[in-house]
Structure formats: C-alpha cells, structure tokens
Amino acid sequence: MINMDIKIKQHVNTQQYDAIVVYAKPSANSAGDKQYRGKSPFSSTGSSVIYNDSYRYFLLICKKMGIKAAFATSKDIIGSGLFQSFWTYDKKWVKNNGKAHSQVFFDKFTSVNSKQKNKLKLLTSSKSTYMFNNKKIKNVFQNKINTYKQFKEFAIPTVEITNLSKQKIIQAKTKLDKLLKKHRHNVDFSDDYIIKDKTGVGGFNIFKVNFDEFDFEENKKLYESGVENRKTSPYIIQPFINCDNGFVFGKYSGLIDLRIIMLNQKIIQTYIRIAKEGNFKCNEQQGGNLVYMPINTIPKDVLTMARKIIKNLNKKLDLKHAIYSLDFIRSNNGNLYFIEGNDRPGIDWNPRKKINEIKSKELINHIVSELKSIIQEKQLDKSTAKAPLI
C-alpha cells in the first residue's frame, strides 16, 4: 500500500540539475527504495534524522540563489553524474522516480567498502564532473597516518597498528615510545595512550589505554567491533596528552579542543568543544559542549600554526573552493598540537541551541555561495570552449 502523504513524481526524461547532494547509503535512503516508507531522506527513527532539516535548508538556499539542486544517495548512482531516482524539496520532501544528471556535486559520500568505491568511481568517470569536497585534501585528512606524516612538526606523534594481535600492539607502542623520547615536548605525554580508528569521526572507536592494566583479549573484542569487513587493522596509537588545563576561553575551561573552519584559505567560523566531566572526548556526539566563538578570540599561536598548515597544503593541493576544518589542543604545559583535519565539516545542529542552528545555516550559506561560483565557472568554461575561433 502506498502512503498517500508522500509526494512522488514520475519523470520520463532525464532531469538536468545545476548541483546534486550525494549522501552515502545507508545513512540516507534512496527515493527509489520501495521498501522505505519514510517521508524524507533520513529516517525519522534513526540517529541521522537531524540531517533532514540541514538538507531541507540547503536545497532552499540553493533555490534562493538560483541553483537547481536535488538530493540523491550512492545507491542511486547509475553512470557518470547520473542517478536513477532522487529527492527534491517543494514545501515538503518529494520522491522523484526517474533519472537526474549533474556535473557538480556536494558529496557527503565516504567510500568505506569496495561497492561504494565502485559507485564513486562510476559517478566521477567523466572528467567534466566536479566534486565540491577536495579529493586530495580528503586523502590527507581522512587517514590520520597521512595527516601525521604530512604535519609531523605540529601533529601528535602517531604510529599505525598493523593488526590487533598482542604482539603487534606492543610493537606499535614500542615504536611510539621511541618517538616520544625524542620529542621536544615529551613532558606533555602521560602514561596513558589513545588507540583509535585512523579514519574515524565523531569520537567513535576511540579508547584510552593504560598498558599496566591492559587486558588484550577483552580490548581486542572492543576494537574488532569497529573493524567489520576490513582486511587490516584501521587503528593507530598516540600518547594521551594532559590538556584539562590547556585552553581557557573566558568562563570555559577544562578539556577543550578548538576547531577553525576554512573556506578558500580564510577562516569563516570557529568553535570550541568542552568534554563532559569524567570524559576525555570533546565531540558533541560524545556529550561534549559545543560553543561558537568570535574569530578574533583565536589565540595568535593557533593562527600561526594554521597558516603554516595551510601553506603546507597549498604547496601540493589546489585549495580553491576547498572547505575543511583544523582541530587543535593545548597541553597543560602550554604547548600547542594539531590534532587532525576534516575535509567535510558537518552542517547539522543541536536543535536545543538556537545559536548552533544560526551558525550552521550561516555555514550552509557559505557553501551554497561557493557552489554557485563553481557552477558559474563551469558554465563560463563551457561557453568559452564553444566560442568560434576568429
């Protein structure tokens, strides 16, 4: 039985769009999935339900800026820039049965398995396709080993755990300990260690370990719960840095990290995250408190380090149109560390905090404005290529 509250459009011809948001299945649901009875891309019963508001607003701002945009999932990809079904928004979410095509994509699509990698390869098989999120930046920031190798001067010492046997974990710890002894700020490193997913986000699959109390068999089960369908261990080991008296911003103190969000090599937003008492994770998903800060409150040494990181990136990558974030902590001894980068800053918000909604919508406006610039550049390139030679 069809739910009559769901608006469904049938299309015979392929619909052309200026831009399409591409989200990974299963986080988002395909408009063509007959088993899915939901009225929006993200299930109302799942943890991703908050993204319905984010992408509703995203599509509305696209329309306001004159961009014809749609939303699709990795499941819908059937060719270069081509989808077999898609969502649009017109006072409510609309399921569209029929093909959609674009050359410009705002991709929230991390290929974690071979099937998704093949889908991404198919989507981008034409040289004319443009992915908003810079692939080369993704290669640097999504793998924390790559981040450390490129930014050893600023980053926390990091060693890869090649597999989860007791022997390999001890080998990785031994290798890391040698790095720590040589480090100019080795006084910052506690007796504890952090073992975490080298491609993880949101504070998931991160474990604080004291090797004097370490139960290898018990912890191996914990780690393996996060490595399904992976042939090699995705984990790294780092020292735990005492930083509960590091950053202080007015009334905010405790275990804090600082994030700055960059677009076109300019800082557009910044916020701090304060870990919940008794927790070492600052992420909002782990109970941390996210507080937006004025850009002029960013400490000078953070700005200096950020400029050096950007200069390093810019030597090897084209940062035009690139959006990304940089995270920092300060040790109790006052030393600054670059934790990691993120090539896809989130555009969701905590509905209980109005300021978070305002700032997230501000970020969406920045992104859509940049998308418009990309689309205009591609249209100009196309018209120039067609112009007759004189």
Cα 375 from Cα 370, distance rounded (Å): 9
Query: Over 50: is that where the pLDDT of 1 sits?
Result: no
**Residue 117 domain-assigned (yes or no):** yes
**Residue 115 domain-assigned (yes or no):** yes
Q: Indicate the helix (H) or strand (E) that contains 123.
A: helix 114-123
CATH code, domain carrying 48: 3.40.50
For residue 98, the enclosing domain spans 7-132
Query: Over 90: is that where the pLDDT of 271 sits?
Result: yes
Cα 337 from Cα 142, distance rounded (Å): 18
Query: Over 60: is that where the pLDDT of 222 sits?
Result: no
Which of 200, 221, 241 marks a domain boundary? 241
Total of domains in the chain: 2
Which of 189, 224, 241 marks a domain boundary? 241
Percent of the chain with pLDDT over 70: 89
Mean pLDDT of the chain: 88
**Residue 332 domain-assigned (yes or no):** no
Average pLDDT of span 173-197 = 95
**Residue 375 domain-assigned (yes or no):** no
**More confident site: 131 or 116:** 131
Query: Over 60: is that where the pLDDT of 232 sits?
Result: no
Which of 132, 147, 171 marks a domain boundary? 132
**Residue 174 domain-assigned (yes or no):** yes
Reported as a pLDDT band with limits 50, 70 and 90, residue 9 is: low
Q: Is 25 helix (H, G, I), strand (E, B) or coil?
A: coil
Task: Give residue 229's pLDDT.
Answer: 45
* First-last CA distance in the chain: 62
Query: Over 70: is that where the pLDDT of 263 sits?
Result: yes
Q: Which residues contact 30 (CB under 8 A, 6 or more apart)?
A: 36, 72, 73, 75, 76, 85
**Residue 233 domain-assigned (yes or no):** yes
Same domain as 201, residue 160: yes
Reported as a pLDDT band with limits 50, 70 and 90, residue 323 is: very high
**Residue 201 domain-assigned (yes or no):** yes
**Residue 288 domain-assigned (yes or no):** no
Same domain as 181, residue 88: no
Query: Over 90: is that where the pLDDT of 227 sits?
Result: no
Residue 116, classified by CB atoms within 10 Å of its CB into exposed (0-12), middle (13-18) or buried (19+), is middle
Same domain as 127, residue 18: yes
Question: Is residue 237 within 8 Å of 195, Cβ to Cβ?
Answer: yes
Task: Give residue 206's pLDDT.
Answer: 83
Number of H helices, E strands in the chain: 8, 18
Please give the DSSP secondary-structure letter assigned to residue 161. -
Percent of the chain with pLDDT over 90: 65
CATH code, domain carrying 203: 3.30.1490.20
